[in-house]
Structure 1
Amino acid sequence: MPGILLGDEFPNFEADTTIGRIKFHDFLDKSWGILFSHPKDFTPVCTTELACAASLSDKFAKRGVKMIALSVDSVEDHCGWSKDVMAFNSQASSPLPFPIIADEKRQLATKLGMLDPDEIDVDGIPVTARCVFVIGPDNRLKLSILYPATTGRNFDELLRVIDSLQLTAQKKVATPVNWKPGDKVMVLPNVSDADAATLFPNGVTNKEVPSGKKYLRYTQL
């Protein structure tokens, strides 16, 4: 993705937000983080997205993930729109459970490669696309996804990929297609059979393929 690559240290930017001015690394405080942008406040798809994110905030928190949103609107607009977002969830009296960054001058969006050239505001200026950045406790980028403004995200999928990222950060495994917590995982190719026998006491199974190569190794953690 333009702006920042996997493994890069995420910029320690300062920004105005709905909880005041923050310095990003201090906000994360060595936790996992998810920064997700949306095109504009008071728009239909964005409202459904942030409402979904709010409804799942406890699940992100249980994984030790701090959430923060961003768009090119003002703090004042963010605060007003947040009431609509929570009302969409039938929780009009509850505050939005995560802050929103105000990036009116698009400085941060430009730096991080968030702008969607095909989606412009009434002044003819590009707005933010639907970016997702997952940042690890080491402040490095672990995952990035870029959706166009017209396509809403699946926040359940973001929980799934965070589960995968957190698991594979601790174990010498990878997660196969459509993996979900509790499913079998795959042993990394650079782990020898001897080491695998030690690392995975539940055993390792091989999927036979025509090549005869033993690279499809599964284990249950």
Structure 2
Amino acid sequence: STPLVLSVHSVVSFDFAVSILPGWHTTIFPPYFVAGAIFSGFAMVLTLVLIMRWVLNLENYITLKHIDNMNRILLATGMMVGYAYAMEFFIAMYSGNEYERYAFLNRAFGPYGWAYWAMVFCNVAVPQLFWSARLRRNVLVTFIASILVNIGMWLERFVIIVTSLHRDFLPSSWDYYAPTWVEVSIYIGTLGIFFTLFLLFAKYVPVIAIAETKAILPGAQPEHHVVAEAAASR
């Protein structure tokens, strides 16, 4: 899956980077999109894993150590994404291109400023909670943080696309974007397809690989029985 993540998200980012549209024409997009894909992917996996862990009583298989390690990756990739946000502004200001500069100032302080700052809060501020080892092992905090990161990554796509398109080079064509019922239906439909397939797989396919469960069964580690029996006989 790693080559797929690197190839797909870097190639998709080229579609934006090679355009001449202010806000898209930047070479930082490939690593930025790859880091964002890992970031959002781990957040979504955490959301689903914690639900499955609670519903199916998988606490002995999905332990706090697993959650701690995933939160470490969430923190690391969140900082990469935050660095990309800062570099986007730096490149826009340093380039001397007035259109690029305006695109990013409009992104942060224009009519869609609420979406930009909500994105920064969800994707940059929230993961900073995981500097604390206690919070990294807190299931409730992890669940809420993963949902906020999912929301933040959706807002990131919204900000990249909408704020770069709603104001172009002609002020006469400026407008405020409002989704149509078709777009809303497509969005809800994609969520429905995803959760339908996910629930079908959870119903008919083992949630945890059998090979992994065998490794932690008592029969796989007979030496532990010897130690336990010796301790019991004393």
Structure of larger gyration radius? 2
Q: Normalising to structure 1: TM-score of the pair?
A: 0.26
Q: Which has the higher strand share?
A: 1
Q: Could you tell me the TM-score, scaled by structure 2's length? A: 0.25
